[in-house]
A and B are shown apart, each in its own frame.
Chain A
Amino acid sequence: MTQTVDSALRSALFTYLVRLGDDSLVLGQRLAELVSWQPDLEEDIAVANLALDHIGHCRNFYAYAGAVEGKGRDEDQLAFLRDERDFLNLVLCEQPNGDFGQTMARQLLFDAWRLPLLEALRDSADAQLGGIAGKAAKEARYHLQHSVTWVVRLGDGTQESNERMQAGLDFMWRYTDELFWGDEVEAALVAAGMAPDPASLRSTWETTIGDVLDRAHLRRPADPRQRGGGRTGHHTEALGRMLPELQFLQRSYPGLEW
């Protein structure tokens, strides 16, 4: 960050970094909940890898957010000492795992959005944000492969797996519109050439999802009702239940290091 960045833009950048970091933390925590519960050993390790990747991304976003904010907050403070209303993740990320089909539906819908976002951010006018995104994009590419693989196999598998994959997709679909919403935070960064317009990611996402659903013999859910609000701290019930487990150690033993 150079000193030429004015304070309004700096504030927008902080919020944007927290939003992206919260996506990673909350999704990483959801995936971590699955460790030791997966259908087989191989997938158990795969899901642990995914969780760790997301938590790694979150640390990078938080560390930079803390530096931009300039109040001395580090990754731990941002992750563990904020309340539900301060979390700015997409509501999609906090949705419960449900069965394996529901989990993979959430992962696919997120991964198909996250990869083009990170790839666009690589060219950010903010070099540090670009660097963080470039590193994360490599892993996000694998994440998308992983979720596509499972959605296609389950959708194109047995009648049972197809029905459960479709049910998972139907459940998660109402949280997808928020992927493409933006407010004055994104607008400020778009104007500064630091981030892409969220709406510009939709066509890539639609193409990816459409292709996967075709291959998986799944229906595009028709439910027009959409639920968002996570970007401004208005969450679904699911996040409130997750945070106590995520945060209890720092809440109970403030400043604990290990």
Chain B
Amino acid sequence: MSYDVPHVPGEPEAESSSSAGPGFPLWEVFVRPSRGLNHVHVGSLHAPDAETAMQNGRDVYTRRQEGVSIWVVPSAAIHATDPFEEEAWFDSHKPYRHPTFYEIPDEVGHM
């Protein structure tokens, strides 16, 4: 039985010939802090399979009651935007898209 370490964009190539031997696959861990909130990415870890990844996620990331639910996703299944494309994708200054230019009538109250 052997495991392939998935290539994660931006992460240096693992030295598979190192003394650590063949590593387990990498998983991304998402924790839901409490009911009604979203799962939030908290970090990553290595594990041989999904069940172990969830247990490891519980042990590594929820030691201080940080959450009530865990998702784990193989890092290889994550598709990420290219950091070098950040300007093209995200650096658009369009303040009018924020609804801050409207006068709110007093009768509306708190929105």
Contacts and interface: CB of A to CB of B under 8 A. Distances in A.
B68 to A, nearest CB: 14
A42 B63 contact: no
Contacts, number: 31
A49 B55 contact: no
A246 interface: no
A149 B52 CA distance: 7
Contact of A46 (B1, B48, B49, B56): B56
B55 A149 contact: yes
Interface in B31-74: 45-49, 51-52, 55-56, 58-60, 63
Helix, strand, loop or mixed for chain A's interface? Answer: helix
A42 B48 contact: no
A42 B1 contact: no
B1 A157 contact: yes
A45 interface: yes
B55 A40 contact: no
Interface residues of A, number: 14
A146 interface: yes
A157 B55 CA distance: 18
Contacts of B49: 153
A153 B3 CA distance: 14
Nearest to B20: A40
Contacts of A149: 51-52, 55
A153 B55 CA distance: 13
A128 interface: no
A207 interface: no
Interface string A31-75: 000000000111101100100000000000000000000000000
A29 B59 CA distance: 19
B60 A145 contact: no
A42 B45 contact: yes
Nearest to B47: A42
A158 interface: yes
Given A40-B24, A158-B1, A153 B59 contact: no
Interface string A135-150: 0000000100110010
Given A40-B46, A157-B1, A46 B59 contact: yes
Nearest to A150: B52
B70 to A, nearest CB: 13
Nearest to B61: A45
A146 B63 contact: no
Contacts of A40: 24, 46
Nearest to B24: A40
Interface string A115-154: 0000000000000000000000000001001100100010
Given A46-B59, A149-B52, A149-B55, 18 more contacts: A40-B46, A41-B45, A41-B60, A42-B45, A42-B60, A43-B56, A45-B59, A45-B60, A45-B63, A46-B55, A46-B56, A49-B59, A145-B55, A146-B55, A149-B51, A153-B49, A153-B52, A158-B1
